[in-house]
Chains A and B, each alone.
Chain A
């Protein structure tokens, strides 16, 4: 049962079209300590249902830790995470994924020895219902389920024009294509919120421009929220509707791209304090 939580204006990065809907993700006072070190503290955010939200900050600010908290790789020390109004405390990574959070990784973690198609089919895992005896006996329902899954996988691959690479080994793809395949694999798990950890890392400017188009296309087609960590400011400023800036584990600024670029606290975090 999802309870309706009104979007708080103070979060201010929810785009207008999502104002009247409950947010897809809310984090309240989220924090985690590793031993005596506080990696993330008092992290509050609300993300609209179809928002593209950027999470930026200097190296070591705790951005990937936030992703690990949201996907339950780490259990938070403090605070709560509501996904679509549902409290996710006590979830493990599998349950978080099934509840609708999918992600990619900063250092690509594809199943490199499997084919491109199989990587996507593993993402579709939750959808295919076919027992081992059925698979061995090759019953008609097995073929039907397999065929439907394969069609869906190829459809997803076509977002990035990768359907021709379906039978290639994932590890043999060029770097940019591996990043794109990770996004497709995450999409295959049918998420409500897609977390992209540095999707443009290692891409050249034209690949990055194409990626921006595709991220927008994914949001428009699937009507899902996307949160991304990225160091490429052209990409972040170009596609994000809301941006949160993290420094030393704390949010120091939230707002639209225009507000963020002119925020003195952000400039200080990135460039250091002005002398004198």
Chain B
């Protein structure tokens, strides 16, 4: 009984991690950048949804605005901060990403205040928990899982079947050869950031429905855990990010269920250390070979 509700709980959390992890993995796959500002884009998405609902916008429209806002912000960050460094050493990109993350957090503090605000989650998903003979089933969890599955199906179609998806896979395999085949890498990179941010926007709404609080630093821990999920699945791999996200979510809930809730974050980062020590390529990662 308890097991089923905990399983659902874990899948809900894992789905959110997976959505966010996809953004890390896709961007890394294309330009080898660990985009540490990705988590803070979620925070901005949360604030956009919060303020639009508070100012009387229809919740469905608010969700769309949050997702589009995340996409535009990510594309702007890419153009302003990362594109000028395309040929710079990768460490410069990484440091820039950390800088962008700090900038977003502090600008949010300046504009919205340091305190957390409560998120009107009931206006987005408003339903009682179902109970079947003692099992409590959260509608929010069911909705989260279904939305995640749909998002991933759309993403898979986008990457596998469309022209842009093929260009993305080509660029992630060999940027130089892709350019020589006439692929405009700037478009592909912009598109990748936009898709990653759209998933982050969806993740932001779902996360706020589970933990209805929005604060300037809410993205940093969520982002870090999603990063661990991406590494666990094999960074750069899309199915890896999905599986890694679910695994981290389930692990966290499991740790809480056995009564060690103070240890959840510790366990997640222990997983990171173990993966990096024993299997740095994760579940599905490609081993890095020097290009001759």
Which A residues are within 8 Å of any B CB, using their own CB?
Answer: 71, 73, 92-94, 96-98, 102-103, 105, 107, 109-114, 118, 121-123, 125-126, 128, 130, 132, 135-136, 185-186, 189
Query: Closest CB-CB distance, B72 to chain A, in whole Å?
Result: 16
Interface-lining segment among B103-111, B125-133, B179-187, B217-225 = B179-187
On chain B, the residues within 8 Å of A125 by CB distance are 163, 166-167, 181-183
Tell me whether B178 and A122 are in contact (CB under 8 A): yes
On chain B, the residues within 8 Å of A118 by CB distance are 166, 169
Bound complex: CA A57 to CA B163 (Å): 40
Bound complex: CA A73 to CA B177 (Å): 10
Tell me whether A122 and B166 are in contact (CB under 8 A): yes
On chain A, the residues within 8 Å of B142 by CB distance are none
On chain A, the residues within 8 Å of B158 by CB distance are 132, 135-136
Tell me whether B163 and A130 are in contact (CB under 8 A): yes
Tell me whether B169 and A114 are in contact (CB under 8 A): yes
On chain A, the residues within 8 Å of B174 by CB distance are 109, 111
Q: Is B157 an interface residue (CB 8 A)?
A: yes
Which B residues are within 8 Å of any A CB, using their own CB?
Answer: 154, 157-158, 161-164, 166-167, 169-170, 173-174, 176-185, 191, 292
Query: Closest CB-CB distance, A71 to chain B, in whole Å?
Result: 6
Tell me whether B180 and A136 are in contact (CB under 8 A): no
Tell me whether B169 and A94 are in contact (CB under 8 A): no
On chain A, the residues within 8 Å of B162 by CB distance are 130, 132, 135-136
Bound complex: CA A122 to CA B169 (Å): 10
Tell me whether B180 and A111 are in contact (CB under 8 A): no
Question: What are 13 A-B contacts with C-beta separation under 8 Å?
Answer: A94-B182, A97-B181, A103-B180, A105-B177, A110-B177, A118-B166, A118-B169, A122-B167, A122-B183, A123-B181, A125-B167, A128-B163, A136-B154
Which 7 A-B pairs rank lowest in CB-CB distance, beginning with the nearest?
Answer: A97-B182, A109-B177, A135-B162, A93-B179, A111-B173, A111-B170, A122-B170
| Residue from B181, B185, B191 with most neighbouring chain A CB atoms (10 Å) | B181
Query: Closest CB-CB distance, B29 to chain A, in whole Å?
Result: 11
Q: Which of A113, A128, A136 contacts B169 (CB 8 A)?
A: A113
Query: Closest CB-CB distance, B138 to chain A, in whole Å?
Result: 30
| Residue from B167, B173, B176, B191 with most neighbouring chain A CB atoms (10 Å) | B173
Instruction: Give A190's nearest chain B residue, CB to CB.
Output: B182
Bound complex: CA A140 to CA B158 (Å): 17
Bound complex: CA A275 to CA B154 (Å): 72
Starting from the known contacts A110-B177, A125-B181, A128-B163, 16 additional A-B residue pairs (CB-CB under 8 Å) come to A73-B180, A92-B179, A94-B185, A97-B182, A109-B174, A111-B170, A113-B173, A114-B169, A122-B170, A122-B181, A123-B181, A125-B167, A135-B162, A135-B163, A136-B154, A185-B181
On chain B, the residues within 8 Å of A110 by CB distance are 177
Query: Closest CB-CB distance, A87 to chain B, in whole Å?
Result: 19
| Residue from B163, B174, B184 with most neighbouring chain A CB atoms (10 Å) | B163
On chain B, the residues within 8 Å of A114 by CB distance are 166, 169-170, 173
Check A135/B161 contact, CB under 8 A, given A118-B166, A122-B167.
yes
On chain A, the residues within 8 Å of B183 by CB distance are 94, 122, 125
Query: Closest CB-CB distance, A162 to chain B, in whole Å?
Result: 18
On chain B, the residues within 8 Å of A109 by CB distance are 174, 176-177
Q: Which of B161, B166, B179, B292 contacts A94 (CB 8 A)?
A: B179
On chain B, the residues within 8 Å of A135 by CB distance are 158, 161-164
| Residue from A112, A132, A185, A186 with most neighbouring chain B CB atoms (10 Å) | A132
Check A189/B173 contact, CB under 8 A, given A125-B163, A135-B163.
no
Bound complex: CA A126 to CA B180 (Å): 12
Q: Which of B167, B170, B180, B185 contacts A97 (CB 8 A)?
A: B180
On chain A, the residues within 8 Å of B178 by CB distance are 111, 122
On chain A, the residues within 8 Å of B182 by CB distance are 94, 97-98, 123, 125-126, 189
Bound complex: CA A126 to CA B292 (Å): 28
On chain B, the residues within 8 Å of A126 by CB distance are 182
Bound complex: CA A136 to CA B158 (Å): 7
On chain A, the residues within 8 Å of B154 by CB distance are 136
On chain A, the residues within 8 Å of B180 by CB distance are 71, 73, 93, 96-97, 102-103
On chain B, the residues within 8 Å of A132 by CB distance are 158, 162, 164, 191
Bound complex: CA A73 to CA B180 (Å): 8
Tell me whether A93 and B173 are in contact (CB under 8 A): no
On chain A, the residues within 8 Å of B166 by CB distance are 114, 118, 121-122, 125
Bound complex: CA A96 to CA B179 (Å): 10
Bound complex: CA A105 to CA B292 (Å): 12
Instruction: Give A142's nearest chain B residue, CB to CB.
Output: B162
On chain A, the residues within 8 Å of B184 by CB distance are 94
On chain B, the residues within 8 Å of A107 by CB distance are 292
Query: Closest CB-CB distance, A224 to chain B, in whole Å?
Result: 16
Instruction: Give A185's nearest chain B residue, CB to CB.
Output: B181
Bound complex: CA A197 to CA B173 (Å): 20
Tell me whether B181 and A189 are in contact (CB under 8 A): yes
Bound complex: CA A119 to CA B170 (Å): 8
Query: Closest CB-CB distance, B231 to chain A, in whole Å?
Result: 20
Instruction: Give B169's nearest chain A residue, CB to CB.
Output: A114
